[in-house]
Amino acid sequence: MGLVIGISIILLWLANLIFALVYTEVSVNSPMVIVHIAVQTYLYTGLFITAHDSMHGQVSGNKLINNGIGRLATWLFAALSYSRLQEKHKLHHQFPGEETDPDFCAYSQNFWLWWFSFLKNYVKWWQIVIMALVFNILQIWINQFNLVLFWIVPSILSTFQLFYFGTYRPHQLPHTDEMLPHNARTQKSSHWWAMLSCYFFGYHFEHHQSPQTPWWKLYQLKNQQS
């Protein structure tokens, strides 16, 4: 099931991106512009969540396929290094919410400073060069405004979605006793909002409690905890 879900997210991301880039006319009066940006942002987040499940070996029992899907998802997201992400994510699970956690900002709890610190850990200059090259190649055939609105903007917006619901809210200070031993909170909301906000990733305590559980089963763990 994990493989089917992972491939489906990638295909939906690709299909909506192609449709938006090729067939959507950019106009301030068109509600479809906002719709496509919102949908593409959500699907970008899905790409990262798929890669995250790959890091935990939950996309496929076949290691080659599992890591292949993870590498593809991270590359499509923003030419990210799957190996680097995996290495740092292991540290995050070993030292959640601590100074040695690469996803935690020990020097500030300010949203923007933490977000920048979060991105700086994963985005390198060569990735920006690759994305710039791809952009310049694509604009030979595709309208520049479409590329910015439906390719660049959603990828940036999804970093805020992932960061806020998957890092900032769950691991923000103060850490309380109920967050132990993972220094992680769980989202107190309905399942539909948990899915819509970040693919159940707000159930973050449950994820740290059972990292081998795929994202689409986290609501079941939440039910057991309630």
Instruction: Identify whether the C-beta of residue 215 lies closer than 8 Å to the C-beta of residue 201.
Output: yes
Of the ranges 84-93, 120-129, 150-159, which one carries the lowest mean pLDDT score? 120-129
Apex CA 123: angle with CA 14 and CA 76, to 5°? 15
> DSSP string of 59-93?
S-SSHHHHHHHHHHHHHHHHS--HHHHHHHHHHHH
**Closest among 131, 186, 192, 125 to 156, alpha carbons compared:** 131
pLDDT computed for residue 133 by the predictor: 95
Domain enclosing residue 173, as ranges: 2-225
Position 26 scores a pLDDT of: 84
Quick check: helix, strand or coil at residue 210? coil
3-class state of residue 121 by DSSP:
coil
Q: Report the predicted TM-score, pTM, of the whole model to 2 decimal places.
A: 0.94
Number of domains comprising the chain: 1
Burial level of 28, CB count in 10 A (0-12/13-18/19+)?
A: exposed
Average pLDDT over residues 39-49: 98
